[in-house]
Chain A
Amino acid sequence: MSSASHWSVFVNAALINNFVLAYFLGICPFFGVSAKLETATRMGGAVSFVMLVASVCAYLLNLLLEAIDAPYLRIISYILVISSTVQLVEMLMRKLSPATFRAMGIYLPLITTNCAILGLALFQTNRGYGFTQAVSYALGAGAGFALALVLMAGVREKLDLANVPDLAKGTAAALVVAGILSMSFMGFAGLGR
């Protein structure tokens, strides 16, 4: 088991090794839904929540897989558990809180194909985090994802008004902005150990 404290695990996942800007996980939704600040906030919330659930599930599942000595089933079982968790969350939300469900709309099912979720499950297994560490890792990763998404959306709303050459409009301009954001996040490296 890794011996890092909960706070350092959290800060590490949220800022120093931000999932989007340092590991490039979840780039598709990062560019896809970061055009508007409001949808970006919602997506960030939904992903953080699924990350937490998936992290707990992955921890328990890994215990089971180790007990029956079948590590080669890890990838396939993780992805199945994640997609069924997303379905379950979707159904629960529709039953318990229809208003939130409607607000989330299409973004809930889209989370299944977000590589940040599977990445989180695999990273926490590879690093041998304990249960509470895994939870703080998931919270940190979710917070980091939401932060990156909201920052990006803020910049892109301003970018719409700027005078960008036709050739660079769209993805190319968004990539350059992401690169600059990523560079500024490098400054957080000093926070770790």
Chain B
Amino acid sequence: MLRREVSTTDEFVKGLWRENPVFVQVLGMCPALAVSNTAINALTMGLATTFVLLMSGCSVSLLRNFIPREARIVSFICIIASFVTAVDYLIQAISLELSRSLGAFIALIVVNCLILGRAEAFASKNAPGRAAIDALGMGAGFTAALLTIGMVREILGSGTLFGLAVLPEAFQTWTVMVLPSGGFFAMAMWLLLVNRLKEREAEAEKRPQEAAS
């Protein structure tokens, strides 16, 4: 980041693709694999994480001049844990069924390295507005990644998408995709695809330079 002025769109978009938390930085893998067995679980988890990211990013950014350096990690964790508790109760209030299927994984957002990572690396050094945009971008990237894994697993594993049947009756469902090992396989497939796309992007950037020289 050499330029001082990074446009707000850039700040937002980097979370979606260039610095995607799951596929590129490989942060927050535990929830990405654990609750992506159906698309609806993945979406809820993504939104909950985005909310915590946004709120803790803003709070950390507002308090950044008051928190002593030595106690910063503990303070960040306290801030994050308070918002996670709020989200936990909120989801229980909205849908008890959803809360039960996600189980302790909502509470485990506290130890998602993505949130502490953004608080430490970005929010504690930037103004609240900028921190909020960064948090939204990262949250959107995380949600998108979770949703893509979740959709693949749900379609192949149970032949449905968001609970609606999308594949014909005759389709033999791949039970393995709903089971834990399916999470590893689906994630590996997406990583391969992302790696391939990145490679092509790099090749495309190299070609015009060669032509010019």
Which residues of A are in contact with B by a Cβ distance under 8 Å?
Answer: 21-28, 31, 72-76, 79-80, 83, 113-115, 118-119, 122-123, 126, 167-168, 171-173, 175-176, 178-180, 182-183, 186
Question: Which of A83, A171, A178 sits near B191, CB closer than 8 Å?
Answer: A171
Q: List 22 A-B contacts (CB under 8 A).
A: A24-B29, A24-B183, A25-B30, A27-B29, A28-B29, A28-B113, A31-B26, A74-B107, A75-B81, A75-B84, A75-B88, A75-B107, A79-B110, A113-B111, A115-B108, A123-B104, A167-B196, A167-B199, A172-B192, A178-B184, A179-B181, A182-B184
Chain B residue nearest to A32 in the complex (CB): B26
| B111–A115 CB distance below 8 A | yes
Chain A minimum-CB-distance residue to B103 = A126
Q: Other CB < 8 Å A-B pairs besides A24-B33, A26-B30, 18 of them?
A: A22-B180, A23-B180, A24-B183, A27-B33, A74-B107, A80-B77, A83-B77, A113-B113, A113-B116, A118-B108, A118-B111, A168-B188, A171-B26, A172-B188, A175-B188, A178-B184, A179-B185, A186-B179
Taking A175-B184, A186-B179 as contacts, is the C-beta distance between A24 and B116 under 8 angstroms?
no
Q: Which DSSP category, helix, strand, loop or mixed, fits chain B's interface?
A: helix
Task: Name the distance in Å between A156's Cβ and chain B's nearest Cβ.
Answer: 14
The smallest C-beta distance from B13 to any residue of chain A, in angstroms, reads 23
How many B residues have CB within 8 A of the partner chain? 39
In the bound complex, do residue A24 and residue B180 qualify as a contact, i.e. CB atoms below 8 Å apart? yes
Q: Is B34 an interface residue (CB 8 A)?
A: yes
Given A21-B180, A176-B185, A168 and B29 contact (CB-CB distance below 8 Å): no
Given contacts A75-B84, A83-B74, A115-B108, contact A27 B185 (CB under 8 A): no
Question: With contacts A80-B77, A113-B116 known, is A182 near B107, CB below 8 A?
Answer: no
Complex contact A72–B188 (CB within 8 A): no
Q: Which residues of A contact B30 (CB under 8 A)?
A: 24-28, 115
Whether a CB of chain A sits under 8 angstroms from the CB of B195 is yes
Q: Which of A76, A180, A182, A183 contacts B81 (CB 8 A)?
A: A76
The answer on a CB contact under 8 Å between B111 and A75 is no
**Residue B85 interfacial (CB < 8 Å):** yes
Q: How far is the CA of A72 from the CA of B38 in the complex (A)?
A: 28
